[in-house]
Amino acid sequence: MMLDQVVLVAAVTVLGMMEQAYFSLKVIYARRKHSVSPPATTGPPEFERVFRAQANCSEYFPIFIFSLWVAGVFFSQALAALFGILYLYGRYLYFHGYAESAQGRLEPLYFSAKMQWALIAQSGLGVVCSLTHAYLGLDLMHSVTHL
């Protein structure tokens, strides 16, 4: 595998790690602001929403990165990177929406969930094409990626 065949998804990965670091810093500030010292994880609703927003984004982060890479390698790097950027943008809105109100998390959640499903679908499609190519000798991949 050549580096330039994965450099776009690697770039989105780096952006994603920076976003996660940013969410973590926000939790640290919220802990200070609302005086919620570890190991406590409960406190005023304002704190708990920030805490849960980061926890929720962290929970899905590995799934996001795995789907980004499998889609990028087995389906289309450019498409995976595009949906990846949109996912990260949706998660940014989710974090800030959730920090404001529980209701505020919903719209961006639906958006980023759609981007996540799109990446999983691309991963699944790419893998199925590769499997049929490797084990049945059919080149579906060629037809699908040239849509």
Residues that bind a copy of itself (CB under 8 A): 1, 3-4, 7-8, 10-11, 13-14, 17-18, 20-21, 37-41, 45, 48-49, 51-52, 55, 58-59, 61-63, 65-67, 70, 73-74, 98, 102, 105, 116-117, 120, 123-124, 127, 130-131, 133-134
Catalytic: 91? no
Both tokens of 64, joined, read 């996001």
Which residues touch 58 (CB under 8 Å, ≥6 apart)? Answer: 20, 23
Q: How far is the CB of 26 from a copy of itself (least distance, A)?
A: 14
Among residues 46 and 128, whose Cβ is nearest to ligand GSH? 46
Catalytic: 49? no
Work out what residue 136 binds among a copy of itself, ligand GSH, none; the CB cut-off runs from 5 to 8 Å by kind. Answer: none
What is the C-alpha to C-alpha distance for residues 50 and 3, in angstroms, rounded to an integer?
37
